[in-house]
Amino acid sequence: MAKVGIVMGSDSDMPVMAQAADILEKLGVDFEMTVISAHREPDIFFQYAKSLEEKGVKVVIAGAGKAAHLPGMCAALFPMPVIGIPMKTSDLGGVDSLYSIVQMPSGIPVATVAINGGTNAGLLAARILAVSDQELLGRLKVYSESLKNDVVTKAEKLDKIGYKEYLGQMKK
């Protein structure tokens, strides 16, 4: 049963939303994913958001761009955590989406990640679920450890070959 509902306002958001799906898959968290526009199909959106709790979804990740009302509307209808991903946009660079999502009025919270922050949205959803799931918490700790090891390996390589060679290899 899907624990995380991933929803995006347009399939143009897919490359970013796929980052959230990828990390959830890696961590063994079940999710469902769909495209629903709150303004182009409000009736379908309402049915979707109202059905999430009954389906067993515990966290929603909603991505939207421009006048990005989808995460806020999810939070209005779904009573558990909603994470909003502001999409980078062609005209205003995603600051429009960021301000729309992060500036939720008091009472209906949306946890907002960075512009195009798909991976962190997935990780935050997993961390929320890990509050009551020790095995998932263990997998999250292993993931964090792997990030640390990556940096240590890079520092060792830099020490060994020097910055010019390191930079040259990065440009290849």
27 or 87, CB closer to ligand RP5?
87
Question: Given its phi and psi angles, is residue 104 left (phi above 0), alpha (psi -120 to 50 degrees) or beta?
Answer: beta
Work out whether 65 is an interface residue with ligand RP5 (CB under 6 A). Answer: yes
Work out whether 13 is an interface residue with ligand RP5 (CB under 6 A). Answer: yes
Report CA 84 to chain centroid distance, whole Å.
7
By the 8 A CB rule, do 33 and 63 touch?
Answer: no
What x/- string results for residues 76 through 105 when contact with ligand RP5 is judged by CB under 6 A?
-----------x------------------
The least distance separating ligand RP5 from the CB of residue 64, rounded to whole angstroms, comes to 4
**Which among 97, 36, 93 has a CA at the least distance from the CA of 69?**
97
Binding site for ligand RP5 (CB under 6 A): 8-10, 12-13, 37, 64-66, 87
